[in-house]
Amino acid sequence: MGPAFLYDTFPDKFMWAVGTAAYSVEGAWEKDGKGKSIWDTFTRGGTRVSRGDVGSDSYHNIPGDLRALQQLGVSHYRFSLSWPRIFSNGTKESYNKKAIRFDRVNVIGYTAWSLLDGYEWYREYGIRRGLFYVDFNSPDLKREPKTSATFYSKLIEKNGFPQKWLYFAHLQAN
């Protein structure tokens, strides 16, 4: 890596982007009806991993956080939703309107695609649901799609998502 890369200017249209994960920045872990995620349970199980109870407390400081991003010249911000906050126990009956208002969006529905098999989920998720079986004894953590992955892929495909959004388009029906 030469000095030009380190000290030269970025192109005028360079897009500065940042991203966060809900667990790392949101805080307010037990506020407003949020359910426990796998991480909430894991960090209370006697591990040496720090809890994300407060994080950077974006839950209480989102206007200031967004101003700071703007002042830094960030043009794109990717954030993750706290699914246990939106559906406290992982069922549609546990839908949390206060969490939706917090996200400040006019929600007609959520499509949880990239996060469906994410680790920031409800603690019961891995037992009841999931998209993949993961072989934790395998050195490469081999994953095998569950029937739910194939079903969800077909559901999304038939409901108007462009092909480029289909993460599981390559899956074969069982």
Burial of 62 per CB tally in 10 Å (0-12, 13-18, 19+): middle
* 77 DSSP β-pair partners: 18
Residue at 32 is within a domain: yes
Residue at 125 is within a domain: no
pLDDT band at 104 (very low <50, low <70, confident <90, very high): low
The mean of the pLDDT values for the chain is 71
Residue at 79 is within a domain: yes
Mean pLDDT of 59-64: 86
| Residue pLDDT, tens place only, 119-174 | 445 555 555 556 777 777 888 878 887 777 777 777 667 765 555 444 433 333 32
Helix, strand, or coil here: 171?
coil
Mean pLDDT of 101-117: 54
Using a pLDDT cut of 90, give the percent of the chain over it.
Answer: 0
Residue 156 has what pLDDT?
Answer: 67
Residue at 151 is within a domain: no
> For 4-8, 33-37, 87-91, which range has the lowest pLDDT when averaged over its residues?
4-8
Residue at 119 is within a domain: no
Burial of 98-113, coded b for 16+ CB within 10 Å and e otherwise, reads: ebbebeeeeeeeeeee
Count the domains in the chain: 1
Residue at 117 is within a domain: no
Higher pLDDT residue, 131 or 88? 88
Residue at 86 is within a domain: yes
Residue at 76 is within a domain: yes
pLDDT band at 103 (very low <50, low <70, confident <90, very high): low
Higher pLDDT residue, 105 or 91? 91
Residue 159 has what pLDDT?
Answer: 64
Asked if 78 and 18 touch (Cβ cutoff 8 Å), the reply is yes
Mean pLDDT of 63-82: 83
Mean pLDDT of 17-46: 84
- The residue range of the domain holding 32 is 15-108
